[in-house]
Amino acid sequence: MKMKFKQVCTEILNLLHISTKNNNLVILICINSITTALIPFVNLYFAMLILDSVFAKYFRQSLVYAFVMILLVFILNCMSKYTDQCLAAKYRFCTNLVEYETVHKSFTLEYEEFDKTDTIEKLHYLDDGINGAGDIGIQLKDITHLLQYCFSSLFSLIFIIFLFFQVESNPSNFFTSQISTLFMILLFICLIVFIFKMQNISSSKTNQMHRENISVNSKSSYIFMLLLDLKHSMDIRLSKLSNLIFNYYDGYKDKSLPMYTQWGTILGKYNSYSTLLIEMYAGISYIFVGAKAFYGLISIGSVLMYTGAINQLITTFQQTVSTYSKISYRFEYLKLHSDFIKTTPKHDLGILPIEKSDDFHYEFECKNVSFKYPGSSDYVLENVTLKFDIGKRHAIVGKNGAGKTTLIKLLCRLYEPTSGQILLNGVDIRNYDFNQYVRIFSIVFQDYQLFSFPIDENIAAHENTDAITIRKILNDVHILDRINELPKGIYTSLNKDNTDGVILSGGQLQKISIARALYKNAPFIILDEPTAALDPVSESEVYTEFNGLVEGKTSIFISHRMSSCIFCDKIFVFDHGKLIDEGNHTELLKSSSIYSSLWHAQSQHYAKTN
């Protein structure tokens, strides 16, 4: 998975391109890296001038040099620090920008994608890419450093080239000859190759460990999230689950601690080898420069300048290699982001508009629909053929796991049938524009989700809400009185994890989720176990109200409360993924053994308790 140099350069340019949107990041990076890289060289150059003028007894001139040096370094330092500060804010901004792009993209992906282990792993990597191992802010910071090291190496080389030309035309010894220059250059090349190899070994080992650590990290993040989540906290406390959770946490910690120690050992070992060689080369180059000064080829001031430049070159080279390796490693994660952004959701392939129909003329038909969940080999639905009649009430009944909710998910295009077709007015639903298609449905799933936002926004699914309609609907589902008692009425927030909101009972929340479906006022209403959390009185109220509210629309009820079937025009009986029977309540009681056993099981239960 290791990236090639050309790929890394392309990724750097891509990232800079994304990050430059709305801000002058690239200009700031260039100013920052040039000014930061220049400071030590201004120091070295003027130190040489000052020393030489002091030795030549030009004291006044040395003072002028000292003044110019202080002024220049001051200006460069101000520019470097100022751009540093600006960049820190920009890095954060860029991370948010990329994070926003990812979240935005993930909402355009099909729901089905999120049911694939592959996608989930990819998203974990992506999250890690943006905020963890491949943090974009740190990546941009390192790209700035890399550029700074490149400039620094370039400045060092410009200085050192002059040193290599300081030779005698008739050399009297090794140090004044071209051979010593050649020797130093060869030694330098060997050093560079060695450092490069060392850094490569150490970074591929540490990167490998980092990769292995990702799954441990995401598991411990899950545990951490459990501890902060109010929804889980009651069960954790009452069922004494904390020991189990902490045992998991300790297990992950035990796995990652030795890894960090090993990591430190590897870095320490390879860095020491490189440092040892760098110090040896520095020692030899000091002798080389000193000897040049001894034989009168360069001044005392130049000794300081050249040794400083050599030192600078070697250190920046080491930093360049290690920073480059970190950057290329991070791009392994960030590349996933660029690939992810480029994916085309299958939904986008459907382009047919949904014709607006005032008489709700939307007829759905399933033709030989079979379905397996992603990654599963078992059929959850097999050869289902049925039709939902326009404007009629339908019920789907069957034991748990019969495939009722799955059929609804297929109808709403959360998943695509494995084989067979679902048709809307005779056309395969995959051909319709997805955004227009989902507007046809008002749905309440059994595991409905309400968010820690104000109640009116939860119902309208928007910030602009129609308070009069919301109050009317809340009244229809018999919860307006309770909402009016709240401090801010319909504008009160739910839950306490986002704002200081209210905690409502499961039944009350369920009524709000039903209100959301009614507010949407779509021509096709689906209620999948919408009354599970309601008390019998509320349940009966909701069904009675619904009968009026769904009048003229097509509706589907999935409910274990068999009494709800009496109101329905057509009932589909499912068993083990197959449509077994269909008809109305009276017909099915006579003809369907499964329906009548479901009906009698419940009515007998009520009879007994009465």
Rounded Cα distance between 413 and 371, Å, is 12
Query: By C-beta, is 101 or 112 nearer to ligand ADP?
Result: 112
Query: By C-beta, is 233 or 446 nearer to ligand ADP?
Result: 446
Rounded Cα distance between 513 and 455, Å, is 10
In the complex, minimum distance from the CB of residue 407 to ligand ADP, in angstroms, rounded to a whole number: 7
CA distances from 10 to 102, 338, 496 (A): 20, 11, 45
- Choose among 413, 400, 343: nearest CA to 371: 413
AA letter at 201: I
In the complex, minimum distance from the CB of residue 375 to ligand ADP, in angstroms, rounded to a whole number: 7
In the complex, minimum distance from the CB of residue 558 to ligand ADP, in angstroms, rounded to a whole number: 7
Q: Please tell me whether residue 260 adopts helix, strand or coil conformation.
A: helix
Query: By C-beta, is 268 or 401 nearer to ligand ADP?
Result: 401
Q: Which of 40, 301, 403, 454 binds ligand ADP (CB under 6 A)?
A: 403
Rounded Cα distance between 459 and 444, Å, is 12
CB atoms within 10 A of CB 487: 10
φ, ψ (nearest 5 deg) of residue 584: -95, 175
Query: By C-beta, is 191 or 369 nearer to ligand ADP?
Result: 369
Query: By C-beta, is 115 or 587 nearer to ligand ADP?
Result: 115
Q: Residue 595 has which token pair?
A: 């329906």
Segment contacting ligand ADP by CB under 6 A, of 99-107, 123-131, 297-305, 404-412? 404-412
Query: By C-beta, is 134 or 398 nearer to ligand ADP?
Result: 398
Q: Which of 330, 404, 413, 570 binds ligand ADP (CB under 6 A)?
A: 404
Q: Is 90 in the site for ligand ADP (CB under 6 A)?
A: no
Residue 444 parent element (H or E): strand 441-444
φ, ψ (nearest 5 deg) of residue 592: -110, 115
In the complex, minimum distance from the CB of residue 405 to ligand ADP, in angstroms, rounded to a whole number: 3
Q: Is 295 in the site for ligand ADP (CB under 6 A)?
A: no
In the complex, minimum distance from the CB of residue 374 to ligand ADP, in angstroms, rounded to a whole number: 7
Q: Is 406 in the site for ligand ADP (CB under 6 A)?
A: yes
Q: Is 531 in the site for ligand ADP (CB under 6 A)?
A: no
In the complex, minimum distance from the CB of residue 401 to ligand ADP, in angstroms, rounded to a whole number: 4
How far apart are the two ends of the chain, measured CA to CA in Å? 68
In the complex, minimum distance from the CB of residue 235 to ligand ADP, in angstroms, rounded to a whole number: 22
In the complex, minimum distance from the CB of residue 397 to ligand ADP, in angstroms, rounded to a whole number: 9
Query: By C-beta, is 115 or 416 nearer to ligand ADP?
Result: 115
Rounded Cα distance between 98 and 173, Å, is 61
- DSSP β-ladder status, 524-528 and 570-575: unpaired
- Choose among 601, 578, 579: nearest CA to 589: 601
Query: By C-beta, is 402 or 429 nearer to ligand ADP?
Result: 402
- Choose among 176, 426, 405: nearest CA to 292: 176
Contact call for residues 531 and 510 (beta carbons, < 8 A): yes
Q: Considering only residues 540 through 559, tell me which ones interact with ligand ADP, judged by CB under 6 A.
A: none
Q: Count of residues for the chain?
A: 610
Rounded Cα distance between 318 and 137, Å, is 22
Query: By C-beta, is 401 or 552 nearer to ligand ADP?
Result: 401
Q: Considering only residues 448 through 487, tell me which ones interact with ligand ADP, judged by CB under 6 A.
A: none
CA distances from 72 to 37, 84, 158, 271 (A): 13, 18, 19, 34
For ligand ADP (CB under 6 A), the number of binding residues is 12
**Helix, strand counts (H, E) of the chain:** 18, 10
Q: Considering only residues 373 through 402, tell me which ones interact with ligand ADP, judged by CB under 6 A.
A: 373, 376, 380, 398, 400-402
- Choose among 510, 509, 515, 524: nearest CA to 442: 524
In the complex, minimum distance from the CB of residue 418 to ligand ADP, in angstroms, rounded to a whole number: 13
In the complex, minimum distance from the CB of residue 525 to ligand ADP, in angstroms, rounded to a whole number: 17
Query: By C-beta, is 285 or 406 nearer to ligand ADP?
Result: 406
CA distances from 97 to 22, 93, 461, 476 (A): 10, 6, 24, 43
In the complex, minimum distance from the CB of residue 515 to ligand ADP, in angstroms, rounded to a whole number: 23
Segment contacting ligand ADP by CB under 6 A, of 403-411, 420-428, 499-507, 539-547? 403-411
Q: Please tell me whether residue 517 adopts helix, strand or coil conformation.
A: helix
- Choose among 569, 556, 563: nearest CA to 598: 563
In the complex, minimum distance from the CB of residue 430 to ligand ADP, in angstroms, rounded to a whole number: 20
- Residues 99-138, one symbol each (x = binds ligand ADP by CB under 6 A, - = not), give ----------------x-----------------------
CA distances from 77 to 26, 38, 88, 364, 425 (A): 19, 10, 16, 71, 71
Query: By C-beta, is 337 or 404 nearer to ligand ADP?
Result: 404
Q: Is 196 in the site for ligand ADP (CB under 6 A)?
A: no
Residue 317 parent element (H or E): helix 300-342
Query: By C-beta, is 373 or 453 nearer to ligand ADP?
Result: 373
Q: Which of 405, 495, 508, 510 binds ligand ADP (CB under 6 A)?
A: 405
AA letter at 197: K
Query: By C-beta, is 210 or 409 nearer to ligand ADP?
Result: 409
Contacts with ligand ADP by CB under 6 A lie at: 115, 373, 376, 380, 398, 400-406
